[in-house]
Amino acid sequence: MTELKNDRFLRALMRQPVDRTPVWMMRQAGRYLPEYRATRAKAGDFLSLCKNTPLACEVTLQPLERFPLDAAILFSDILTIPDALGLGLYFETGEGPKFRNTVRSAADVAALPKINAEVDLDYVMNAVSTIRGALNGSVPLIGFSGSPWTLATYMIEGGSSKDFREAKKLMYGQPEVMHQLLDHLADSVIDYLNGQIRAGAQAVQIFDTWGGVLSSWAYQEFSLNYMKKIVAGLIRENDGRRVPVILFTKNGGQWLESIAESGADAVGLDWTTDIGKARARIGDQVALQGNMDPAMLYAPPERIRQEVADILSRYGTGPGHIFNLGHGITPDVDPEHAGAFIRAVTELSPEYHLQD
């Protein structure tokens, strides 16, 4: 493979010295960019864009052409696995993802097929290999998946939910069925992420978007345990270097110690957790990724810069910090404000790495 010219992101994930704090944004290829909206219109709809290899590659690279980011992330969706399991994923304007079929019983779980990700999700693997080639070693490529719990909520609810009523009904009323579903999904995610790694992903992130809606014991049993299984089953070295794993649980600040013991190399933080306190708790075990409130990008550029300075100061000196938002960038953000954010990180962070 082509030699990596900028490995700052990968080095920071391994808590190795860097010249400045690396930065990327969750959902960095997305609706806030006019060029993305134009490409999506060309594709016809979101799912068609995900499945069109040249266009998926195009939108993955778009933010890198605008901003000095330190990583690219595969353009795809966390719900590709449930779609491959035959649930019929579709998107309705203004309503988010929906499924034509749901999973709410032992019989539904038993009927789920075993997927071969490199065959059933070949369009994702084609996108990974195409993007990796197009990057030509400029920055690393991140692959990703949803966590088993997060995928399960969509599969059970049939789409997004405010109270997760059906998912919790199954979890509390028939825990053995929920465990069967989560185990099946964990195996699918392992296969899926390993396929992405073989195709060229140089780091992977597990998005546990809805882990934070669980009680403390339920999070450990129904979410974190299955992410641990995934981490243990992943290819951890490829192309002669380690493939780091990032776990991100939204609203997971109360479980940082448990997440840090999962075997992952980095813990993603949302904006509700103080990064300085998080570093004091777990920063000698793992790298930390985050964690500016995405809504801060609505503020004037000088306020954004002030917030970046504050987060850098709270983390302090030394390696192990990957700057990111605390969740995905929102669609109506001015790209100039995203640029101000990234510029602030690149300009203000070197002083925190002088001794390295």
Taking only the tens place, the pLDDT of each residue in 33-76 is 999 999 999 998 899 999 999 999 999 999 999 999 999 999 99
| Average pLDDT score over residue span 330-346 | 97
Query: Beta partners for 142?
Result: 73, 203
Q: Is 265 annotated as a binding residue?
A: no
Domain ranges of the chain: 8-353
Q: What pLDDT score was predicted for residue 356? A: 46
Q: Is 327 annotated as a binding residue?
A: yes
Active-site entry in 7, 20, 70, 154: 154
Q: Is 27 annotated as a binding residue?
A: yes
**Residue 154 among the catalytic residues:** yes
Of 18, 34, 11, 28, residue with least CA distance to 325: 28
Tell me the C-alpha to C-alpha distance, in Å, between residue 294 and each of 64, 150, 299, 308, 321: 19, 21, 10, 12, 18
Label residue 355 by pLDDT band (50, 70, 90): low
**Residue 27 among the catalytic residues:** yes
Active-site entry in 40, 66, 241, 242: 40
Distance CA 266, CA 11 (A): 12
Rounded to 5°, angle at Cα 133 from 341 and 19: 40
Q: pTM of the entire structure?
A: 0.96
Active-site entry in 8, 15, 20, 27: 27
| Average pLDDT score over residue span 297-304 | 98
Question: Which residues, 6 or more positions from 79, have their beta carbon under 8 angstroms from its beta carbon?
Answer: 89, 97, 146, 151, 154
Q: Which fold has domain 8-353?
A: TIM Barrel (3.20.20)
Mean pLDDT of all residues belonging to the chain = 96
**Residue 77 among the catalytic residues:** yes
The residue with tokens 């049993």 is 221
Distance CA 98, CA 81 (A): 14
Q: Is 290 annotated as a binding residue?
A: no
Residue 271 has pLDDT above 50, yes or no: yes
Tokens of 3: 């030699």
Q: What pLDDT score was predicted for residue 2? A: 74
Q: Output the CA torsion 162→215→205→195 (10° steps).
A: -90
Distance CA 227, CA 137 (A): 29
| Average pLDDT score over residue span 83-111 | 91
Q: Is 315 annotated as a binding residue?
A: no
For 135-189, the pLDDT digits (tens) are 999 999 999 999 999 999 999 999 889 999 999 999 999 999 999 999 999 999 9
Residue 111 has pLDDT above 90, yes or no: yes
Residue 112 has pLDDT above 60, yes or no: yes
| Average pLDDT score over residue span 303-320 | 98
Active-site entry in 7, 8, 70, 77: 77
Q: Is 29 annotated as a binding residue?
A: yes
DSSP SS3 for 66: helix
Active-site entry in 31, 66, 314, 343: 31
Label residue 1 by pLDDT band (50, 70, 90): low
Of 317, 314, 304, residue with least CA distance to 345: 304
| Average pLDDT score over residue span 94-116 | 93
